[in-house]
């Protein structure tokens, strides 16, 4: 029953194209998750949430800062929960590796760079020590999740 209710909530949210209590902006999803067919195939390994440059960004999960800095042309912050890594970009952060983060805590501001330049924040989720990407929506909504033992 619990799984059925979760599926209904998830389906309704996906159909609406927005999330409630977003980490940034209004929660409007500009581009959804599109799981690649293989590790190197085309796809969209996250979701893009509408946001404007200099908007405040809050953490959608609790965990530890795994990385805060630049990757190529964009600032990125990655938070680890112990089982997953959630990255957000372009987010200029004042947090440091190892900082404890609580869900809802301010972690930075929307910056420039990457494919979301000035109009959105890309949120990606993957399992620790893998390149297996997960749909970020259940994490953004704080829904219960089941993780398979293997991808």
73-97 pLDDT, tens digit per residue, is 999 999 999 999 999 999 999 999 9
Is the pLDDT at 6 greater than 50? The verdict is no
Q: What pLDDT is stored for residue 8 in this prediction?
A: 42
> 138 CB contacts (<8 Å, ≥6 apart)?
6, 10, 145
> 16 CB contacts (<8 Å, ≥6 apart)?
none
Hey, what are 124's tokens?
A: 């990606």
Strand partners, 115: none
CA distances from 7 to 4, 86, 106, 143 (A): 5, 22, 30, 10
Alpha carbon distance 116, 128 (integer Å): 24
Strand partners, 125: 86, 134
- The reported pTM is 0.83
> 96 CB contacts (<8 Å, ≥6 apart)?
65, 68
Higher pLDDT, 73 or 99: 99
Q: What is the average per-residue pLDDT within 47-52?
A: 95
Hey, what are 111's tokens?
A: 């910056």
Is the pLDDT at 7 greater than 90? The verdict is no
Helices (H), 2-100: 2-16
Q: What is the average per-residue pLDDT within 10-29?
A: 73
Q: What pLDDT is stored for residue 96 in this prediction?
A: 97
106-149 pLDDT, tens digit per residue, is 999 999 998 887 789 999 999 999 988 999 999 998 876 555 55
Residue ranges and CATH numbers for the domains of the chain are 2-140 (2.70.70.10)
Collapsed DSSP state (helix, strand, coil) of residue 116: helix
């Amino acid at each position: 029953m619990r799984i059925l209710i979760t599926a209904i909530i998830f389906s309704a949210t996906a159909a609406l194209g927005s999330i409630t209590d977003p980490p940034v902006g209004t929660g409007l999803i500009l581009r959804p998750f599109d799981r690649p067919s293989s590790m190197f195939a085309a796809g969209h390994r996250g979701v893009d949430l509408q946001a404007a440059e200099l908007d405040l960004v809050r953490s959608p999960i609790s965990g530890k800062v795994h990385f805060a800095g630049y990757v190529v042309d964009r600032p990125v912050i990655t938070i680890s929960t112990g089982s997953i890594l959630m990255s957000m970009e372009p987010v200029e952060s004042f947090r440091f590796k190892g900082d404890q983060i609580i869900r809802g805590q301010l972690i930075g501001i929307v910056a420039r760079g990457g494919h979301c330049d000035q109009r959105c924040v890309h949120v990606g989720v993957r399992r620790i020590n893998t390149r297996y990407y997960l749909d970020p929506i259940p994490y953004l909504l704080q829904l219960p999740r089941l993780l398979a033992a293997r991808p």
